[in-house]
Amino acid sequence: MIDTHAHIYSDKFKTDIDKILSEAFNNKIKHILMPNIDHTSIDGMLELEEKYPQQCLSMMGLHPCHVNAEFEKELYIVEEWLNKRKFIAVGEMGMDLYWDKTFKEQQIEAFKIQADFAVKHQLPLVIHARDAMTETISLLEEIKTDGLFGVLHCFTGTLEEAKQLIDLGFHLGIGGVATFKNGGLDKVIPHVDIKHLVLETDSPYLAPKPFRGKRNQPEYTNYVCDKVADFYGISGSEVEEITDKNAYKLFSIEEYLSK
């Protein structure tokens, strides 16, 4: 099983990260993909990949909540790293209008620039969209080009939005929200071909039931997998097999590991 989105370099794992990873690897988790946030998260992320080179795989990008008046300096660092070594994806990037709309225009500009990075380096784009799904889809339609593909991480949108994203060449990242009673994904996932899904946790955030409100961790991908299996009326092992295949193809994981 592959956790395609987990911030395991977070300070919330500072005291027990090796234990957390051991539990994950002993409970079906083969790989954990780590989204970058900004320049301050790079060292911790790369140190984890150095320690677990076959399991913990790094992305490079600038999170929309860290886009501000100085965002171009951050993107210069992102570009520098992308030119320096291989990464599994460009991300996490996107739009977040939940906390603050002050830097909306800068977020749009950072989105377009990072999409260009992804196309240039032939990497998937890992998109964060919070209170900004309409804007995100409009942006993707505007910049649509050959070679632009990826995943809308932590997808919580409507069936219509899911179909639009899939038509634009994007997978849907399904996490703990799928297990929430009023998460809304029960009205979406059963109507989407499973070939468009990948699993994730977004650790340490958004823990699935029965851990909701507590620290999330990669091992809990298993709970997401089981819930997705319920939606489709198939076994957890079938969901694991299909979504692993999706993730291997989307992120070119085997090619990355042979770098």
Annotated binding-site positions: 5, 7, 92, 128, 153, 202
Dist. CA 154–CA 231, nearest whole Å: 17
CA–CA distance, 251 with 88 (Å, rounded to integer): 6
Q: Cβ distance 183 to 157 under 8 Å?
A: no
Instruction: Pick the closest to residue 1 from 211, 210, 219 (CA basis).
Output: 219
Dihedral over Cα of 51, 57, 59, 65: its sign: negative
- Distance (Å) of CA 112 to CA 20, 51, 223, 247: 35, 33, 34, 24
Going by the annotation, the residues of the binding site for a divalent metal cation are 5, 7, 92, 128, 153, 202
Helices (H), the chain: 17-25, 42-51, 71-84, 104-120, 133-143, 159-167, 221-232, 236-251, 253-257
CA distances (Å), 70 to each of 90, 120, 138, 248, in order? 19, 23, 25, 35
> 124 is written with which tokens?
């998937």
